[in-house]
């Protein structure tokens, strides 16, 4: 039975309990995630051939419009060559998981760009590619090169702090690792880990670019800052939160051992959710972020309350459904077959749309309401717009939304995202993530083997 301060949960009014249940999720980093009012959705098998006939898409009028729409083979009003062709080719290689080619083409675009806008975007793309691969020395050299604006929040300071750390290593046992998970009030998966031999509870958070540990847990587990300086990260609320670079010497998830794992230390007060700023509703020890998840063939069994971890094995993939563009992105379709791109954020409670997708689908207005966005460092409340009549096809299933929130513009590097997949539609499923092979699969009715 949950306790709120000294109050028994069952003695609280039902409406108040429902309100509190809507608050306990959504603390993420780079990018931070949010927690808004939940979606209303029904799920059914997609059916054979449901997305085979995609409606014709209007061709982008300009190069940058094409890049925003992920049309990397654009042949519009003029021929693209030189730096522009290299930039588009780099983005296409990133989508295909071809990191060496993506890096080479991004460097070419940066070196040859005469347009300052293109140079800035090429520099940001190269930064993201190097950061994703943990190439800390190369990132430091990129900073020295100059010629473009560094990423917001001085994230480069984290990269420079990681320069002197020993190489990260993943030691997988021969058999798959199976660990029980719990789910937060918002449905976010939580697993017990060992940090330098001490047990802690970490969220499994695809929306966190780097793993996170709370300052009190870091002190107790002997995780020290690598540098005196503090960088900043932007939360979903728009606030900046101070972060310090560190490396966990030994992070264990059952039989999987990760050595020298780069993390961010965040003040423990910024990883708490409090009622009226007084009563603590939720305390997070840390987050297993994308920099760990991308090295693991991971299955999150929401219904069976377990996570299964395997060493990735290279496969021939005809289509990479899970791609990376500064954050994990999933390819899916609208109900009438239009391809769309959604960010994947298991740390966010609610699935949502962006304004971008509204130009591709027919959706009816479903009112507005005041909703809270919770993130590291606090919360903000704002008016949120809702629409109805939206259908998405994902992993062999059709999701029909009675009502779903619409947020502002969200980008993955330069590409406009159509929405964010949150934990709400993943409940009672088995979610398989294998970033090395671009694999994203879901099955209904998950249960422990």
Contact 223, 275 (CB under 8 A): no
Q: pLDDT value at position 261?
A: 97
CA distance 60 to 355: 17
Higher-pLDDT residue of 281, 230? 230
The C-alpha torsion from 132 through 190 and 201 to 440, rounded to 10°, is -20
Q: If you average pLDDT over each of 6-10, 39-43, 46-50, 253-257, which comes out highest?
A: 253-257
More confident residue, 295 or 41: 295
- Tell me the pLDDT band of 294, cut-offs 50, 70 and 90: very high
pLDDT tier at 41, thresholds 50, 70, 90 = confident
Stretch among 135-139, 269-273, 365-369, 386-390 having the lowest mean pLDDT = 269-273
- Section 283-287 average pLDDT: 90
Token code pair at residue 44? 């059914």
Stated pTM of the model: 0.85
Contacts of 192 (CB under 8 A, 6+ apart): 179, 180, 199, 200, 201, 202
CA dist 129 to 99, 134, 147, 311, 400, Å?
7, 9, 17, 23, 35
**pLDDT of amino acid 145:** 73
Better-predicted residue by pLDDT, 85 or 51? 85
Q: Which residue has the higher pLDDT, 8 or 366?
A: 366
User: Is pLDDT at 23 greater than 70 in this prediction?
Assistant: no
Which of 29-38, 161-170, 395-404 bottoms out in mean pLDDT, i.e. has the lowest? 29-38
d(CA 208, CA 415): 19
Between residues 311 and 241, the one the model is more confident about: 311
Answer whether residue 4 shows pLDDT above 80. Answer: no
């Amino acid at each position: 039975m949950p306790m709120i301060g000294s109050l028994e949960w069952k003695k609280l009014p039902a409406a108040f309990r429902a309100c509190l249940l809507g608050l306990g999720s959504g603390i993420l980093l780079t990018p931070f995630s949010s927690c808004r009012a939940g979606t209303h959705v029904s799920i059914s098998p997609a059916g054979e051939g449901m997305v085979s006939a995609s409606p014709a898409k209007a061709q982008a009028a300009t190069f940058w419009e094409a890049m925003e729409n992920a049309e990397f083979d654009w042949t519009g009003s003029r021929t693209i060559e030189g730096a522009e062709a290299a930039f588009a080719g780099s983005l296409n290689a990133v989508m295909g998981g071809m990191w060496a080619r993506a890096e080479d083409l991004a460097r070419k675009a940066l070196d040859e760009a005469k347009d300052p806008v293109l140079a800035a975007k090429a520099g940001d793309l190269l930064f993201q590619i190097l950061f994703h691969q943990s190439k800390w020395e190369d990132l430091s050299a990129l900073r020295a090169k100059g010629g473009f604006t560094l990423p917001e929040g001085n994230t480069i300071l984290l990269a420079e702090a990681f320069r002197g750390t020993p190489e990260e290593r993943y030691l997988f046992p021969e058999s798959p690792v199976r660990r029980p998970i719990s789910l937060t009030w918002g449905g976010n998966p939580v697993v017990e880990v060992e940090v330098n031999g001490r047990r802690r509870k970490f969220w499994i958070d695809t929306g966190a670019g780097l793993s996170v540990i709370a300052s009190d847990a870091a002190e107790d587990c002997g995780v020290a800052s690598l540098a005196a300086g503090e960088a900043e990260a932007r939360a979903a609320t728009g606030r900046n939160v101070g972060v310090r670079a560190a490396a966990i010497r030994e992070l264990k998830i059952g039989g999987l051992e990760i050595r020298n794992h780069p993390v961010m230390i965040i003040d423990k007060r910024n990883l708490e959710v409090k009622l009226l700023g007084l009563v603590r509703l939720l305390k997070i020890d840390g987050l297993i972020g994308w920099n760990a998840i991308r090295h693991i063939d991971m299955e999150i069994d929401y219904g069976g309350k377990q996570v299964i971890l395997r060493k990735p094995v290279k496969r021939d993939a005809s289509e990479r459904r899970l791609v990376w563009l500064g954050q994990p992105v999933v390819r899916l379709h609208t109900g009438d077959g239009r391809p769309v791109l959604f960010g994947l954020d298991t740390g966010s409670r609610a699935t949502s749309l962006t304004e971008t997708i509204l130009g591709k689908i027919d959706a009816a207005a479903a009112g507005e309401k005041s909703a809270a966005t919770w993130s590291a460092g606090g919360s903000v409340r704002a008016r949120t717009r809702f629409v109805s009549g939206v259908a998405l096809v994902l992993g062999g299933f059709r999701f029909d939304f009675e009502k779903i929130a619409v947020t502002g513009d969200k980008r993955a590097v330069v590409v406009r995202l159509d929405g964010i997949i949150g934990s709400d539609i993943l409940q009672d499923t088995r979610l398989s993530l294998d970033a090395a092979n671009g694999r994203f699969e879901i099955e209904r009715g998950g249960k422990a083997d």
